[in-house]
Structure 1
Amino acid sequence: MKEKGFTLIEMLIVMAVISVLLLIAIPNMTKHNSMIQSKGCEAFLNTVQAQVKAYEMEYHRVPTVQELVAARYIKSDRCPNGHAVQISADGAVSESGS
């Protein structure tokens, strides 16, 4: 009775091909991760800017980041890349970089 299946050599070739594909794919994914986080932070800053305007219309003054979080206008005071968000006295939103 002859059983059909993969030989050891065939399995090793498949493993080698998968390894090469992983070695190519992983560095590309990590390289683009910082770009993705940067774009996510830009989008988050735009959202916070809109919420600052909404808060201003309701309370007639520029809020702090902590006031926006406490009033549930935003959920977090940090961008996806971990940097804190700050609001200037004139209501401009920016990333603090720390």
Structure 2
Amino acid sequence: MRRKIFIFLATFLAFSFQLSLAASQTLTVKIHNIKSSPQGVIRIALFGDEKGFRAEKYLFDMSFDKSRVKSGKLTVNIPVECGVYGVTVLDDENNNGKMDYNMFG
């Protein structure tokens, strides 16, 4: 009886551990060719689906000071559950939290 309980617990723990590993992953976002200007921030948003993207309803939103940019590059690790995501990146030079446009676009 003890052996059956031990085997059950070992199997349950191993299965639980595998589920926890599968449920959380790290999404690595590598951004290149960032303009070298000291002002502003780099903003990253993560979207769970197209509807959320179009409505600008993000799952994750974070901004990074440009002091973290090295040689025009920035790498960000985002913990996520397994799935499909959309990512947007904005070089927000005036730090107003939105995309600015001029008469040319």
TM-score category, normalised to shorter length: 0.3 to 0.5
Larger Rg: 1
Higher strand share: 2
| TM-score, normalising length: structure 2 | 0.32
